[in-house]
């Protein structure tokens, strides 16, 4: 699956290391207070591949911080790194703003796990152009890529395409930052998606949703004004995880078009053409079923049902950026490459995910990379420090 979604743009050595490490990672997480829940159902189809922690990401982080405090690990809040002093590839010291005041820190080793540049709107615009102004940042506003840039400026070897990222289709009504998973929309495979001209532009049923949900942010980003609309009817309500915002409901396609400011005749035409192309089959949104279209461009390969049962519904879609793929190259010991053979700088998480995710995504794989390489980086950093 990873080879398929990345098009082979991945480090097979590191990918296999992560996959092997994922086998035992949940047991390690449980030892430090992380609790898991049964698999979610619906369009995600993740029961075979993914484990879900109870309470989401906030509960996960609370468990980790609680475990760290019990081990005597200190945590500095409101601490923003400004400079890194690296000499002959080795970290010596750094400068930060601690509660707004200048401060210095030193360590025998350094682990960077500071994410990409997804919250740096200026950097995004340099890469994507004006389209980036319409992007929504799903997480924290603080991942601006400052440490990533510092490392690259010091000669760390870059990896990953700056324009590649994990981007999903999210509710266009979401806030600019920190909307989280409750704004993600998983209704795409169950209807049609049109742009501002009410035209379909991609196969909504190309593959199982865990292998395709992370391409839809990019697809929407490529549309005029970076906006699209998911259109479906009452037959599929309840078959996908809902957004925190309710769908727009209408008694007719014309009324739905008016609610979104779409050309009514064109949306009616797009829905009519789609309905006429739907071929009979046995609908099952949990598998690659045989409900498809015929003679339609773009086609819908699976889960194609006529949109004809009132009321009709729709969601506005925007590109939601989760994390960027540009990072620093690492080896199997999580050592940052390009700084010298004896570097004491290690990396984990999104800042090195581009080693494995050259493009594309698999559901949950970012968490897996961070968890497995977080352990590796911590272990190797402790070893390098003589602990």
Q: Are residues 159 and 22 in the same domain?
A: yes
Q: What is the mean pLDDT of residues 118-142?
A: 96
| β-strands 79-87, 90-98 pairing | antiparallel
3-state class of 81 per DSSP?
strand
pLDDT in tens, 89-124: 999 999 999 999 999 999 999 999 999 999 999 999
Q: Which residues contact 59 (CB under 8 A, 6 or more apart)?
A: 34, 35, 53
Q: Are residues 178 and 294 in the same domain?
A: yes
Which of 199, 270, 187 minimizes the C-alpha distance to 234?
187
Would residue 344 be called left, alpha or beta, if left means φ above 0 and alpha means ψ between -120 and 50 degrees? alpha
pTM for this prediction:
0.88
Give bridge partners of residue 52 from the DSSP assignment: 37
| pLDDT value of position 43 | 47
How far is Cα of residue 244 from the mean position of the Cα atoms in its chain? 18
Domain assignment present for 45:
no
Q: Are residues 177 and 295 in the same domain?
A: yes
The CATH number of whichever domain residue 6 belongs to comes to: 3.50.50.60
Q: Are residues 214 and 329 in the same domain?
A: no
| pLDDT value of position 362 | 82
| Distance, CA of 25 to CA of 124 (rounded, Å) | 33
Structural domain containing residue 334: 2-31+76-164+325-384
Tokens 């950097």 found at:
123
Q: Are residues 188 and 256 in the same domain?
A: yes
């Amino acid at each position: 699956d990873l080879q398929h979604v990345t098009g082979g743009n991945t480090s097979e050595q590191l990918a296999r290391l992560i996959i092997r490490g994922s086998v035992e990672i949940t047991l390690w997480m449980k030892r430090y207070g992380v609790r898991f829940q049964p698999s979610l159902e619906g369009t995600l189809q993740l029961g075979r591949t993914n484990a879900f922690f109870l309470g989401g990401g906030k509960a996960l982080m609370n468990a980790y911080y609680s475990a760290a405090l019990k081990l005597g690990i200190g945590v500095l809040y409101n601490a923003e790194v400004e400079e890194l002093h690296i000499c002959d590839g080795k970290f010596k010291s750094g400068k930060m703003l601690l509660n707004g005041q200048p401060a210095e820190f030193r360590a025998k080793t350094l682990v960077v796990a500071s994410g990409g540049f997804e919250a740096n709107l200026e950097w995004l615009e340099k890469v994507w152009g004006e389209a980036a102004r319409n992007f929504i940042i799903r997480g924290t506003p603080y991942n601006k890529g400052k440490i990533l840039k510092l490392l690259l400026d010091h000669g760390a070897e870059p990896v990953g395409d700056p324009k590649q990222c994990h981007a999903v289709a999210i509710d266009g009504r979401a806030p600019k930052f920190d909307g989280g998973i409750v704004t993600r929309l998983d209704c795409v495979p169950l209807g049609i998606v049109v742009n501002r001209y009410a035209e379909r532009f991609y196969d909504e049923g190309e593959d199982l949703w865990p292998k395709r949900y992370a391409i839809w942010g990019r697809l929407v980003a490529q549309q005029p004004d970076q906006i699209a609309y998911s259109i479906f009817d009452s037959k599929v309500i309840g078959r996908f995880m809902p957004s925190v915002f309710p769908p727009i409901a209408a008694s007719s396609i014309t009324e739905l078009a008016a609610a979104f400011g779409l050309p009514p005749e064109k949306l009616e035409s797009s829905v009519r053409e789609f309905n006429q192309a739907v071929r009979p089959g046995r609908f099952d949104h949990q598998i690659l079923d045989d409900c498809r279209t015929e003679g339609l461009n773009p086609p819908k390969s699976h889960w194609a049902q006529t949109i004809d049962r009132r009321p009709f519904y729709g969601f506005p879609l925007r590109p939601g950026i989760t994390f960027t793929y540009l990072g620093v190259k690492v080896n199997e010991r999580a050592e940052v490459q390009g700084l010298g053979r004896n570097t004491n700088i290690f990396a984990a998480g999104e800042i090195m995910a581009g080693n494995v995710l050259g493009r594309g995504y698999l559901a949950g794989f970012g968490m897996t990379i961070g968890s497995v390489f977080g352990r590796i980086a911590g272990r190797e950093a402790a070893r390098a420090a003589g602990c």
